[in-house]
Amino acid sequence: MPESRDLPHRLDLALRALVALTGPTVSFTVLPEPESVTEARHFALTRLDGWGGSALADDVGLVVSELVTNALRHSGAPAFARPQAVLGDRADRSGCTNHGPADPLGSAPAAIRLRLLYEAPWLLCGIMDASPEAPRRKEPDYIAETGRGLHLVESFSIRWGWCGLPQGKVVWALFRAP
């Protein structure tokens, strides 16, 4: 199970920025409804295109869809206001280090949040939710319609993992543009 305990230094710093919404990080609040998967994917692909990273579109679109679907299924998120894109939102002061939360006074958002951090050629994508449960990859049942999400995330990203937060977790995936 990939965890964020032994990350390279720059990736650890990028995860901290992703969680704290610092630097060039963007965020999208996900409503607990099926249409949110499409809206989150559209948000990510639009931002990626604006950053000139459209070569990553297929992989990022698939991974965002899988991570948002998993968060909606497993986080038990409450209903929220309309989704919105936020640039430079500093409301969340959570930290993510190699050994758990860096800021014990901080808190993860109650909503599911898609967060993106792009520093060419790298894109870091994270899904924050209020569930403390670690993501679990399971052996897919070839007849079942579910159970392949984290296998797809692993296949289409350079690396993925998760990090516990004071009130939840972030599941992340790293991509590199060709």
Q: Is the pLDDT score of 16 beyond 60?
A: yes
Q: Is the pLDDT score of 68 beyond 90?
A: yes
The percentage of the chain sitting over the pLDDT mark of 70, rounded to a whole number, equals 69
171 within a domain of the structure (yes/no): yes
2 within a domain of the structure (yes/no): no
The tens digit of pLDDT for each residue in 106-127 reads 343 458 999 999 988 899 999 9
The percentage of the chain sitting over the pLDDT mark of 90, rounded to a whole number, equals 41
The arithmetic mean of pLDDT across residues 81-105, rounded, is 34
What is the reported pTM? 0.75
Structure tokens at 46: 């639009």
Cα distances (angstroms) measured from residue 145 to each of 70, 80, 148: 13, 28, 8
3 within a domain of the structure (yes/no): no
pLDDT number for residue 73 = 87
Q: Most confidently modeled of 48-57, 108-117, 159-168?
A: 48-57
pLDDT number for residue 14 = 87
The domain spanning residue 47 has which CATH number?
A: 3.30.565.10
Domain span including residue 129? 9-176
Beta bridge pairs of residue 86: 27
92 within a domain of the structure (yes/no): yes
Domain total for the chain? 1
Alpha-carbon gap, residue 13 to 24, rounded angstroms: 13
pLDDT number for residue 52 = 93
4 within a domain of the structure (yes/no): no
Q: How many residues does the chain have?
A: 178
CB distance 44 to 60 below 8 Å: yes
